[in-house]
Amino acid sequence: MTIKRFSSGFSLVELMVGIIIALLGSLVILQVFSITEQSKQTTTSGSDAQQNGALAMLLMDKDMRQAGYGMNVTACTGPCAGSGFMGGTVNINDSGPRTVAATPFVFAPILIMQGAANAPDTIVVSYGNAATTSVPEYTRGDMRSGTDSINVNSNNMETYSVYGYSLGDVLVLADATTGTGDVIQYSGADNTDDRVKHETGSYQLGPVTQAFRYNDGVLPVYGGGSLLFNLGPAPVNNSYSIVQDSAGRRNLVQTNNMTGSQSIIAADIVDLQAEYGKDTDNDDVIETWDTVTPTGANFAALNSAWEQVKAVRYGLVARSIKREPACNVTTTLPVWRPDGTTTKTFSNVGTNADWQCYRYRVFETTNVLRNLIWTP
């Protein structure tokens, strides 16, 4: 007798239960993966904010440390009437290629341009890079015309010499009485009568032919006793500002006013604030931190007011790239301490309606203007 054996299997109900269990398991796995991925993105975006802020501070600090080099000068007791040119206005006539138009600049190591209604500030940093001297010459006589070469100060023995200049060096010819100056470029010298030339044309820098880009403008006639600063072959007049791009992201942008170039140096920097540190009683101690740019009833008073500025303190806010789903990750606006104690708010962060959906990092530091503390 043959016994038939039937293979047993899963019933439809069992299959349905198995499928449901598998789906539930998949949902749990996907949920865990989603939470892990969100956590990863939050960590990564926080790291990006940390890196962007640190990079911005590094590049700004590099400029700040050199601020004022070649611009400081002691009081003149000889042929000139002025005691310096700090706070003067310098015109740039640049015939070279530029992406940003040249603007007159303030002859000072640091200029803080306060943003209106708590908008981000703009910080302007200026310095020279002459290799041989940081002390200006004084002109011996009046210029006959704006294209005339410049007689520089001779020594007491009346022996004439022009030294410390190289072809292409950028100079600032400044009137310490009116507080106005012009950028020119050194094109040679006539040592027979101690004259500095600023001719148009070009010169050879190694294998490269360079144009005298700052000598095409017509200068006013500068009188005797004017100052001639040598700022070297590549002086700096950089501004740091927050600029919003077409995608709505705010970035820290550096604009070089001397060459007309502009570049983003750090992304997602949403606020920048700064204050001057001032020694108001000349005791080498900073008594005041404020946002007031020095002023004066006349140029001599303006020059003295700028000499009080001995440091700058600035802070910036870097924002994470990731917008968090729950818009409660940041509940209070970021703050900084300009004088080391008093708390001030980065109010511009709150101008975005969704500011609470992002995470922020605050960076702040102080730079002493060592090139103003030391004077030749």
How much is the average pLDDT of 208-217?
91
On whether both 367 and 250 belong to a single domain, the answer is yes
How far apart are the C-alpha atoms of 232 and 158, rounded to whole Å? 26
On whether both 215 and 250 belong to a single domain, the answer is no
On whether both 207 and 274 belong to a single domain, the answer is no
On whether both 341 and 249 belong to a single domain, the answer is yes
Q: Residue 239's pLDDT band (boundaries 50, 70, 90)? A: very high
In 57-129 the beta strands, taken as DSSP E runs, fall at 88-91, 105-107, 110-113, 122-127
Q: What percent of the chain stands above pLDDT 70?
A: 86
On whether both 210 and 333 belong to a single domain, the answer is no
On whether both 282 and 341 belong to a single domain, the answer is yes
Q: Phi and psi at residue 300, in whole multiples of 5°?
A: -65, -40
On whether both 302 and 330 belong to a single domain, the answer is yes
Among the candidates 230, 255, 274, a domain finishes at 230
- For residue 209, what pLDDT is reported? 92
- For residue 316, what pLDDT is reported? 97
Among the candidates 208, 230, 252, a domain finishes at 230
Q: Residue 361's pLDDT band (boundaries 50, 70, 90)? A: very high
How far apart are the C-alpha atoms of 315 and 293, rounded to whole Å? 18
Among the candidates 230, 261, 276, a domain finishes at 230
Provide the number of structural domains found in the chain. 2
On whether both 327 and 286 belong to a single domain, the answer is yes
- For residue 81, what pLDDT is reported? 43
On whether both 288 and 213 belong to a single domain, the answer is no
On whether both 302 and 322 belong to a single domain, the answer is yes
The set of residues, in sequence order, having a beta carbon less than 8 Å from that of 239 and lying 6+ positions away, is 113, 122, 123, 124, 125, 254, 255, 257
Burial of residue 232, with CB atoms counted within 10 A of its CB: 0-12 exposed, 13-18 middle, 19 or more buried: buried
Q: 165 lies in which domain range?
A: 88-105+142-230
Whether residue 285 has pLDDT greater than 50: yes
Whether residue 77 has pLDDT greater than 70: no
Any idea which residue has 């700004």 for tokens?
60
Q: Residue 119's pLDDT band (boundaries 50, 70, 90)? A: very high
- For residue 155, what pLDDT is reported? 47
Whether residue 15 has pLDDT greater than 90: no
Whether residue 42 has pLDDT greater than 90: no
On whether both 257 and 367 belong to a single domain, the answer is yes
Q: Are 253 and 242 in contact (CB under 8 A)?
A: yes
Neighbour tally for 34: CB within 10 Å:
10
- For residue 315, what pLDDT is reported? 97
On whether both 223 and 269 belong to a single domain, the answer is no
Whether residue 364 has pLDDT greater than 70: yes
- Tell me the three-class secondary structure of 198-247, residue by residue: CCCCEEEECCEEEECCCCCCCCCCCCCCCEEEECCCCCEEEEEEEEECCC
Q: Which residue has the higher pLDDT, 25 or 1?
A: 25
